[in-house]
Structure 1
Amino acid sequence: MNQKFVGKPWLDARIRNILTPLLWTQSVSNAGDYGTWRHNFIQNRLRLGLWIAFTSFLTFTGLEVRNHFFKPDQFNFSWVVTQITVELSLLVCFAFLRSTFGQKYPGLAFLIFSWSVTLSPHIRGTFSGVLEPSILVWPLMFFGQATLMPVHWRLHLISQLGVLVYCAGTTAALNLQVKMPAPWLTPAALYLYMFWICFICDLSVYLYERVQRAEFNARQELELAYVELTAEKERSERLLLNVLPESIAVRLKQEHQTIAESFTDVTVLFADIVGFTELSSQISPPELVELLNQIFSAFDHLAEEHGLEKIKTIGDAYMVVAGLPVPRKDHAQAIANMALDMQQALDQFNARTGQSCRIRIGISTGPVVAGVIGIKKFIYDLWGDTVNMASRMESQGIAGCIQVTHSTYDCLKDRYQFKERGIIHVKGKGEMTTYLLTGKK
């Protein structure tokens, strides 16, 4: 194959323009209503019919030209004139259909197209005083219109009646000689023959219109259902991402199996509201939930701002981690900044609402195992000694303070200020030295 012509954009565009009317691929949601869609459909089919008719007449013109040069005895000059007349009228139809008026009234373009093909030979016969009904052109045109251009059954009926009225009217008015195309064909048989052809064509178009409208409505409902399904899927995706990290959510949807990973270096933070139990007995449940929602929503914004992964809330406890599922070198610094900002956010909340809430914060650094377990209401959770130590730092911490383990202190001591709390007894660990984070250097 000549590579020169492969992938030509103009050729691809021309092929698409020609084939588009053959395919019912227009989105009904873009059309809006059936009338608009039907109007566009008719215009596309008219262009297709015009191209086919113009091409077919060109082939017959080419045949007559061949006869002129090679078979002069078969050459018919009057047919060449008729064919060129039809071709010119089809070009006029093309131009009319591209005009603003033609685009607004494509049915008029259809009638001009139909009569230019069916009546041109008979107009020539009218001037010669002989009218010969065409049992070849008429059925071919009427069936072609019904199959390729089913615009509307009433327009098809008008185009058919126009042909019959012209033939009958000119014959009566000009006293033309009627020449039957076949010796066995009588006027009564011709009328009956044309009646059944027109009836079948109009009935086909009518039934096609009903099927087309029903299919349009079905496709419209299908597209609407698809839009709703897409929106529901997006809502489900957002809910899933609120529960799981994005990378874990993708893996869970693809693998459908237990997900567990080990991370050697992360920092975990636990926070707990001091005196929450006493507070819950003093205010109503809706007020309590609203209070927690405001506080934890502020913490969520901070976690997103610092690029941290919120793990869960249990009651009035808040858990967040840095360094997973995507490892990062500054995990300890990110958690330290988060803890300091949490204290500041709670102070602002107290000043705004008149409350006197305080929090204990515990931080620990080290290895963890992270994953998703269970088959219902699953969450992304952490396990390991680092998690236990962060929880102990919080539960055995001081209200309003940030208590960290020695491992976290080693990561942050060069950039942050600490106060040594001293040796405390940690459940399950015994005596340990802990530190209180007070700010940045």
Structure 2
Amino acid sequence: MTTQLTPLRFITAGSVDDGKSTLIGRLLYDSKSLLTDQLNVLNQAKDKSNKEAIDFSLLTDGLEAEREQGITIDVAYRYFSTAKRKFIIADTPGHEQYTRNMVTGASTASAAIVLVDASQLDFTRQPVELLAQTKRHSAILRHLNCPHIIVAVNKMDLLDYSEEKFNLIKAAYGELAEHLGLKDVRFVPVSALLGDNLVYKSDSTPWYQGEPLLTILENLPSIEEEQSGSEDFYFPVQLVIRQDADKQDDFRGYQGRIEAGEVHIGQKIRIEPSALTASVTEIISPKGEVKSAKRGDVITIRLDKDIDISRGDVFVAEYSPLTPSKQIQATLCWFDERALNPARKYLLKHGTQTVFARVSEVEQVLDIKTLSNATGEDQIKMNDIAQVRLNLQKPITATTYAENSAGGAFILIDEATYHTVAAGMILGLE
């Protein structure tokens, strides 16, 4: 009996009308993951429109505004499974106006399907020029360190399944991937509407020797699988549990989720920012006491000594190189309609800790059209991606985003409105 792989989170990305929602709908349909009422909705919509083809985007474009405008606005999450594994899909917007929504969906993804609408490209130009949003989303995926990219060259049926044109697109994106530093990139010729190379190999592309899209997804490792056992222990304290404080056997436990590494009874840990050490005497899971726990587990830890510990403190391995930092270098994706005010303090929420922060320097802002970085900027506007330096009021114990996404991610919050104005990925700590 084979062990089922851990669930895979993936997103779809690309430009408007690339067919992201249609691809997901067709994937659900062909993998027989739809309920009877969902099938009835599709068939009823087909009958009303008097069209031969089913509109699969109805399965994901759930908001009325999305259906009216023919675009995806919000991030739509869908769940399905095959005999081999479970999947969580985030159908993210393609329109530039909703880039911030795309960042939200991509932040937890182990893989991304980047759709390229082959029918929109000009093949008279060499090399082929990719659409701006394809470049923008690819750049965001690089900044978010998305480990696996699958380029689905869509609407191949409109190009008579031309191998030559597929190879031209493959070459153009390959050049973009090299420029951005994307690592694992795969290419699949598909027709989302007709289902070519989604669940089954298509007879229309005999020249394509690779696997269909679903097979590739079934065999990709998740972030949890790739990072399992390769990191030092990292545990932000969410809650300090006290019971019977007036009794001699006072219970004192520290609750949270393990974001990296493992812990076991008897292990010596270090508490930051105090740098004090203690040994683990008890680990309590939702199912009771356990001898050890790993990344992703929600647990309560008890220590062999009483230490002043509160929410926002972090437990790390005894000899972990992590130390509290008050200056960080980070990539910011700006969400707010109001531009960055360098003179203003923002709330920085990292893990379970919130501190005041100020952007001390805007080092560069990415020009998505040229993929070059503009220096000398002092403002960041909505949907901009920028590299900045921040000064914090109090030190935080963090990792870089490349080392651990949970320990290296943060958000900036407007103190007055409590709006989330930006999402950040830590590049370095000082």
TM-score, normalized by length of structure 2?
Answer: 0.19
Higher relative contact order (CA 8 A, sep 6+): 2
TM-score, normalized by length of structure 1?
Answer: 0.19
Q: Normalized per residue, which structure has more helix?
A: 1
Q: Normalized per residue, which structure has more strand?
A: 2
